Amino acid sequence: MIKKLITPGQTLRRIISKEIGNTYIFLGDDFFFQDIIINGIKDNFLIDSGEKINLIMGVDKEDDILNNLNMNSLFNQKSIVIVRNAKKISNKFHSELIDYFKSPSSDKVVIFIYNDPYVSNKFVTQLSSYSTCIDMRTPFKNKMKEWVSYYLKTNKIIISSHLLDQLIEEYGDNTKNVINEIDKLNIYSNGDIGSILDINLNKKENQVWKLVDAIGRRNIQKSIEIYRNLHNNNTSMIKILINLLDLFRELINQKINISSGQFIRNKIILKNLNQYERYFSIDEILNCINLLRDCDFAFKNTSIDEKYLIHSVLTSICMRKDA
């Protein structure tokens, strides 16, 4: 069993205080956290321009891992060795790597990256006994906002709290997605990121509601067309599913004469609920809710292509026959 993980925040504070270990294991696929810790180590561990980072990508480079770890520098130059896709390291190298982790070189920092935060096997468990293990999972929205705010402050980028909330809601499947979008908008807007961000988010938000409206009317052609635009603009699939699920929850309330507006706040959608209700029987609404929940589960737990998954769901909803 892997020993207790520490957070990226705890790790960064240690690094800034020059408490830098020689072996790290990253567990999780939030690339923003991975980058910020690697850059922190680089800034505080490497000193001279001649010192370097060696990036080793995976299975076809296993010999390079050991060569880099066992290589002695003539001038005691420091280096950072990063092994991505560490889960693909074959068994024949395990014993030598465990021996190295037990007694690592003081002029190297070695980072093994496992994008699966729940990886568990004897090799990883043994490595963890001699390493700093960091939780690199994507945080909940409130913690994500703290980290994105830290990035904004560090890079002197100004965005209102309200717009930042919208940005995280739109792109917050991964912290790196949010940061990448901020960087793109900052370049494109010449530093006036607030105004252009507001326009872009409102445009995407309107497209999502147009999709909800098309689904409510069982217009399959329009639904697919709008979804393709949303997909091409990197709109979060989770956001789409949540809004569609909320539509059918509102329709259930409509069918049993419970006041509307518990799940959806968009005035146009609420105004049109009576029209949407005509297209769906109560059994169909319940079936659609189950279908959307199954889609959410499949998206989070399988490797099914997102575009194919949504196409299938939209088609199933729009093509249902009245009960």
Element (DSSP H or E) covering residue 109: strand 108-114
Matching residue, tokens 């993980």: 5
pLDDT score recorded for residue 231: 85
Mean pLDDT of the chain: 83
Q: Averaged over 225-229, what is the pLDDT?
A: 89
Q: Averaged over 139-146, what is the pLDDT?
A: 89
If one compares 264 and 111, the residue with the highest pLDDT of the two is: 111
pLDDT score recorded for residue 77: 76
Helix and strand numbers, DSSP H then E, in the chain: 15, 5
pLDDT score recorded for residue 73: 62
pLDDT score recorded for residue 192: 63
If one compares 24 and 142, the residue with the highest pLDDT of the two is: 24
Instruction: Residue 84: name the closest of 25, 136, 127, 41 by CA.
Output: 25
Write out the two tokens for 164: 């930042």
If one compares 322 and 248, the residue with the highest pLDDT of the two is: 248
Longest dimension (CA), the chain: 80
Instruction: Give 313-316 contacts, CB < 8 A, sequence gap 24+.
Output: 314/215, 314/220, 314/223, 314/224, 314/227, 315/220, 315/224, 316/291
pLDDT score recorded for residue 58: 45
Give ∠ CA 70-72-76 in degrees, rounded to 5.
140
Instruction: Tell me if residue 187 falls in helix, strand or coil.
Output: helix
pLDDT score recorded for residue 74: 57
Least confident of 72-81, 293-302, 308-317: 72-81
Q: What is the pLDDT of residues 48-76, one digit of tens each?
A: 655 566 555 444 466 778 887 877 765 66
pLDDT score recorded for residue 323: 36
Q: Averaged over 15-34, what is the pLDDT?
A: 93
Instruction: Tell me if residue 267 falls in helix, strand or coil.
Output: helix
Q: Where are the domains of the chain?
A: 8-135, 141-191, 201-319
Instruction: Residue 314: name the closest of 217, 232, 199, 235 by CA.
Output: 217
CATH of domain 201-319: 1.20.272.10
User: How would residue 89 be classed by pLDDT, with cut points 50, 70 and 90?
Assistant: confident
pLDDT score recorded for residue 320: 59
Q: What is the pLDDT of residues 152-170, one digit of tens each?
A: 998 888 888 877 887 887 7
Three-state secondary structure along 68-115?
A: HHHCCCCCCCCEEEEECCHHHCCHHHHHHHHHHHHCCCCCEEEEEEEC
Task: Report domain 8-135's class.
Answer: alpha beta
Extended beta strands in 35-99, E state: 52-56, 79-83
pLDDT greater than 70 at residue 188: no
Whole-number percent of the chain with pLDDT over 90: 31
pLDDT greater than 50 at residue 322: no
Write out the two tokens for 246: 């909320």
User: How would residue 185 be classed by pLDDT, with cut points 50, 70 and 90?
Assistant: confident
pLDDT score recorded for residue 59: 42
Residue 108's φ and ψ, nearest 5 degrees, are -135, 145
pLDDT greater than 90 at residue 37: yes
CA distance 246 to 104: 54
Whole-number percent of the chain with pLDDT over 70: 85
CA distance 167 to 292: 24
Distances (CA, A) of 213 to 20, 251, 276, 285: 54, 13, 8, 15
